[in-house]
Structure 1
Amino acid sequence: MKAILIAVAVLFSTSLFAQNADAVLGKWETKNGKSHVEIYKKDGEYYGKIVWLKEPLNEEGKPKVDKNNPEEDMRSRPLKGLELLREFEYDADDEMWEDGEIYDPESGDTYSCEMSLEGDNKLKVRGYLGISLLGRTTVWTRVE
């Protein structure tokens, strides 16, 4: 009987601390404060798009576009609404979202990416080439 109670207690405490896969959903301010990215779920995977820009207009007073995209026909698409995060899957064992990609409109480059939460309001976003050790991590803050 004592063993059963211990097993139930361990199972219950594990579920209390296990992270919810959807905990990443919501709006996040990027490290530099230039944009807000909304993370949402589509077909069981996690995606993120720009929903706010600190400076939405270019020097000519027109909405900023994806001018650094390597594909010429994509350079006229607006930055607001641009999907930056694609195809993340949640790994419950590591409590992180992985196997996704992040697009950097400032350089036009796309990187492999993984994300993990630090508490409820900090999101560590790590972009990398090849292996995760060769990359850069930035921290985004949840927007209320």
Structure 2
Amino acid sequence: MTLPRILPAAALFLALSPMVVQAADDPVVGTWWNEKKTAQITIEPCADSVCGKISWMNAPNRDDGTPKRDVNNQDEALQNRPILGMQIIGGFEKQEPGKWEDGEIYNPEDGKTYDSNLAINKDGTLAVEGCVLFFCQEQTWAPVTQ
């Protein structure tokens, strides 16, 4: 590769690196129990935001032994995807360490996507807010400790 080709790529890498580092060091990054303790959600940096996927379920399979699928999704093309491993959180904007707003959270139980905010509580739990218009509900997720 010639120097003129390397410089734009290096500049882009250096410009984006602080964003990834900011998300990686953020207290929302980690693995969390959902409020019912039926699933764990792993939140990781993704681009300049954070994303979360279902990384563990207490009952990942149906009675016949096949994986539970996203059958409640309003998009028929997505109804066959497995719930375990599915990304359900994304698109957030960082406000300050431990506080992310204007993202989305998908609920496979009802197949709907909600506007969402994430914030670390003083006790180290995660406040997860889901909103429709101006009506919001909040869940408290506990960190998974090993």
> What TM-score, normalized by structure 2, do the two folds share?
0.79
SS of aligned partner of 2:91: strand
Structure 2 residues without counterparts, runs of 5 or longer: 1-23
* 1:24 has 2:28 as partner: yes
Number of residue pairs matched by the alignment: 122
Aligned to 2:17: none
Aligned to 1:141: 142
1:120 CA displacement: 5.6
1:44 CA displacement: 1.0
The CA deviation string for residues 91-111 of structure 1, in whole angstroms up to 9 with x for no partner, is 029x52101000000000100
Structure 1 residues without counterparts, runs of 5 or longer: 1-19
CA distance in 1, matches of 2:92, 2:102: 6
Task: Give 4+ residue runs of structure 1 displaced > 3 Å after superposition.
Answer: none
**Rg larger for:** 1
Residue type at the aligned position of 1:41: P
1:121 CA displacement: 3.0
CA distance in 2, matches of 1:53, 1:141: 15
Matches for 1:1-144 after TM superposition, within 5 Å? 22-92=26-96, 96-119=99-122, 121-131=124-134, 134-144=135-145
Q: Percent identity?
A: 33
Q: 1:21·1:92 contact (CA, 8 Å) conserved in 2?
A: no
CA distance in 1, matches of 2:106, 2:25: 22
SS of aligned partner of 1:73: helix
The CA deviation string for residues 62-117 of structure 1, in whole angstroms up to 9 with x for no partner, is 11111100011101101111001011121029x52101000000000100000111
